Structures are given as structure tokens and as C-alpha cells.
């Protein structure tokens, strides 16, 4: 498997990965506490967790880069370098770690056929030996949605807030926070024995420039800007 034997460019992750044949099995001991409450017009769910992971396997970013570009002075490939030329090198590593966080969700019926949803999550992971942060951990996220829906039509908006991620591992770049506005709508048409479902989705309405902390391309470019998607489904 790649954690053990990798030694090549990982195109999907835009990195050069180095395996580690001395990896051992992970072992986790954890505690999860969940609370749930519901009524005629609301639903609340909150879950907190605390996990002690022995031999956590993770990709450790190194202060090393790899490029197959040709060096103009030597005529040879650049290869491994410390000049931030090319793809960052990651090595599979493991450590005893603490992983903790929470997830929450609130659904409210604010009016007839109108619901509001609020979702948030947070996770933190630290190396117990060095007290350093584990790499590639998402920041705090909060999503709000207001939706009007009937069997024949629906529409609404989403507001996705993502905090800055500054709790990074050595040689891992932090990312700034951002907010994304989304709009959507759809309808269902019945013609005889057939159904036509049309959905229109408008993402990143404000054309926000942002970088997803877990994205493989965050070191090279921004995530997609404003875009529109139209989907049609025919049911017979």
C-alpha cells in the first residue's frame, strides 16, 4: 500500500510522497458523547469526541520539494530541492496523538414550508510526543441554510463560513478564512406518467477567492469561483 511503499509523484494530491516501511498498526481508544432533542418544529444534535490514537498514520510535510523541470545551468532535472520549486514532499509518519472535536446541527421550522438549518464542526489533532499539530486538519466550519420547499418546488440559500487554519504542522502553510454564498432552486413537473425534475444551483455567488485547507491545489491556485449548474432528471 502507498503508506508503506510510495516513492513517486502523487498527481491527485499534487505532492511527492515517500512511504515508510516501519509503520505499525493504529490503535484508538475514544470517548463520544452525544445529545439529541426534538420537538414539533425543531431538532438539535450535538456530539463531542476525544480520541487517543496510538501510532496515528499521517502525511508529514517536509521542508523539501521535488521538480522534474530542467535546470538551465546543469541541463539536468531539478529533482529534490529546498527552494520551493515544484511539489512539496510528504513522508508517511506515525505518532501517538490526541484527536478531539465536536459536531452540531440545529433544524428549525420557522414558518410553513420554511426551515432553517445550522451545522458546525471542529477538530484538533496533536502529536503527544512533540506537542506539534498534525497536518491536514480542517478548520472550524459553520453552515447556515434557509430553505422553502413544497412537493412541487423548492428554493433557498446557503452561507458557508470557514475559519482560518493557523493550527498547522511544521512546514505546512496556514490558510485564511472565508465565506461562501450559495443560491439554489428547483421544481418538479408531472406530464402524464412522467416526472421532470429541474435543479438550478448558483455557487460562490460573490466570486470569493479562497483556498480550501484540505485541497491538493491550495499551494498553486484558488478554488473555483462563481459558477452555475443546471440539472435535469427525467423519471418514467
Q: Where are the domains of the chain?
A: 30-55+97-235
219 pLDDT tier (thresholds 50, 70, 90): confident
pLDDT tens digits, one per residue of 45-68? 999 999 999 999 999 999 999 988
Please count the other Cβ atoms lying within 10 Å of the Cβ belonging to residue 140: 17
pLDDT at 94: 94
**pTM reported for the whole predicted model:** 0.86
Instruction: Return the SS3 of 25.
Output: coil
Residue 33 burial (10 A CB sphere; 0-12, 13-18, 19+): exposed
Give the H or E element holding residue 5: helix 2-5
d(CA 145, CA 183): 10
CA distances from 206 to 76, 188, 223 (A): 45, 28, 13
The label of the residue with cell 482560518 reads 164
Strands (E), the chain: 7-10, 15-18, 27-38, 42-70, 77-81, 87-111, 114-127, 141-149, 153-162, 178-191, 194-203, 227-235
The string of pLDDT tens digits covering residues 105-125 is 999 999 999 999 999 999 999
Amino acid at each position: 500500500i502507498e503508506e508503506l511503499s510510495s516513492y513517486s509523484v502523487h498527481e491527485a494530491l499534487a505532492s511527492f510522497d515517500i512511504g515508510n516501511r516501519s509503520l505499525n498498526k493504529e490503535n484508538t481508544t475514544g470517548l463520544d458523547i452525544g445529545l439529541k432533542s426534538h420537538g414539533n418544529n425543531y431538532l438539535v444534535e450535538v456530539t463531542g469526541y476525544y480520541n487517543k490514537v496510538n501510532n496515528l498514520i499521517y502525511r508529514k510535510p517536509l521542508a523539501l520539494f521535488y521538480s522534474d523541470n530542467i535546470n538551465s545551468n546543469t541541463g539536468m532535472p531539478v529533482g529534490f530541492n529546498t527552494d520551493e520549486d515544484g511539489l512539496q514532499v510528504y513522508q508517511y509518519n506515525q505518532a501517538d496523538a490526541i484527536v478531539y472535536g465536536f459536531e452540531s446541527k440545529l433544524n428549525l421550522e420557522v414558518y410553513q414550508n420554511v426551515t432553517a438549518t445550522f451545522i458546525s464542526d471542529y477538530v484538533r489533532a496533536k502529536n503527544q510526543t512533540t506537542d506539534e499539530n498534525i497536518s491536514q486538519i480542517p478548520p472550524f466550519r459553520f453552515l447556515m441554510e434557509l430553505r422553502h420547499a413544497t412537493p412541487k418546488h423548492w428554493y433557498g440559500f446557503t452561507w458557508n463560513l470557514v475559519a482560518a487554519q493557523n493550527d498547522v504542522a511544521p512546514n505546512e502553510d496556514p490558510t485564511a478564512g472565508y465565506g461562501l454564498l450559495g443560491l439554489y432552486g428547483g421544481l418538479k413537473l408531472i406530464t402524464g406518467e412522467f416526472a421532470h425534475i429541474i435543479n438550478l444551483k448558483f455557487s460562490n455567488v460573490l466570486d470569493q477567492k479562497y483556498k480550501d485547507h484540505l485541497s491538493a491545489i491550495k499551494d498553486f491556485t484558488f478554488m473555483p469561483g462563481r459558477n452555475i449548474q443546471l440539472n435535469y432528471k427525467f423519471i418514467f
